Amino acid sequence: MMRDYLELTKPRITVLILVCTAVGYFFGSPSSFHLTPFVHVLLGTALMASGTAALNQWYEADSDAKMRRTSKRPIPAGRITPSGGLVFGVFLSVAGFADLWFGANALAAALGLFTLVTYIFLYTPLKRRSVVCTTVGALPGVLHHVRLAIPALLRNRLDVSRGLRSRRNPHAAGDRTGR
């Protein structure tokens, strides 16, 4: 059962997000590196990303059950109840928000929450309707990294999300066609 809950968090995607977050934090730090806020940024981001992934799978359980590629996910396969996935996703998200708020700063927490809300309530529903979802879906990813790297971005040193955005279109097209 623990493996199923771990699967809800999409750990490979979360690791990718954490690598980008760490790079953004490093390049966005104005002068010196501080371990404590860095750890909170990573922990809060991991929890928010994992919670968002779980909420996304909860939201899409019905359509996931219809596609061969996603039908074996924990909720559509019946290994986790929809209410269990919802509670787990909300718990992780609230914990991540709190860690960002108290361990990093209010802006990081607010942008993390904005990322979650736009991903779940804009990008996810649009995936079934329009390719514009890729543009909308890029916004949470961009904001997630920008909040950590604003100083570096202003100095034109780093754009951590450009490569991620370029990989989204084929993924979204595959989701819409049921592959």
Domain ranges of the chain: 2-177
The tens digit of pLDDT for each residue in 25-72 reads 887 776 777 889 889 999 999 999 999 999 999 999 998 899 999 899
Terminal CA-CA length for the chain: 27
Quick one: average pLDDT of 106-127? Answer: 86
Structure confidence at residue 160 (pLDDT): 45
For the residues 7-36, what does the mean pLDDT come to?
A: 85
Asked if residue 123 lies in contact with residue 137, where contact means CB atoms within 8 angstroms, the answer is: yes
Q: Is pLDDT above 70 for 166?
A: no
Look up residue 73 and give its DSSP letter.
S
Which one is predicted more confidently, 14 or 140?
Answer: 14
Task: Say which amino acid occupies 1.
Answer: M
Helix (H) or strand (E) holding 76: none
**What pLDDT sits at residue 149?**
54
**Angle ∠(22,137,160) on CA atoms, nearest 5:** 25
pLDDT surpasses 90 at 17:
no
Contact 141, 165 (CB under 8 A): yes
Q: Helix (H, G, I), strand (E, B), or coil: what is residue 105?
A: coil
Instruction: Name the fold adopted by 2-177.
Output: Tetracycline Repressor; domain 2 (1.10.357)
Using a pLDDT cut of 70, give the percent of the chain over it.
Answer: 77
Q: Model's pTM, two decimal places?
A: 0.79
Mean pLDDT of the chain: 81
Residues 6+ apart with CB under 8 A from 20: 145, 160, 161, 164
Which pLDDT belongs to residue 87? 98
Alpha carbon dihedral 86, 90, 96, 102, in 10-degree steps, equals -170
Determine the Cα–Cα distance for residues 152 and 22; give it in Å rounded to an integer. Answer: 13
Q: How far apart (Å, rounded) are the C-alpha atoms in residues 116 and 141?
A: 10
Residue 176 has pLDDT above 60, yes or no: no
Name the more confident of 111 and 31. 111
Give the mean model confidence (pLDDT) for residues 8-15: 95
pLDDT at position 126:
79
CA distance 112 to 99: 11
Q: Token digits for 152?
A: 């570096």
132 pLDDT above the threshold of 70: yes
Distance between CA 25 and CA 58 in Å, rounded? 30
The per-residue pLDDT for 95 is 98
- pLDDT tens across 80-102, in order? 999 999 999 999 999 999 999 99
- Of these ranges, 15-24, 72-81, 120-129, the one predicted with the greatest mean pLDDT is 72-81
**Encoding tokens for residue 115?**
């990322």
Q: Retrieve residue 89's tokens.
A: 């996703």
Closest by CA to 39, choosing from 96, 92, 103, 95, is 103
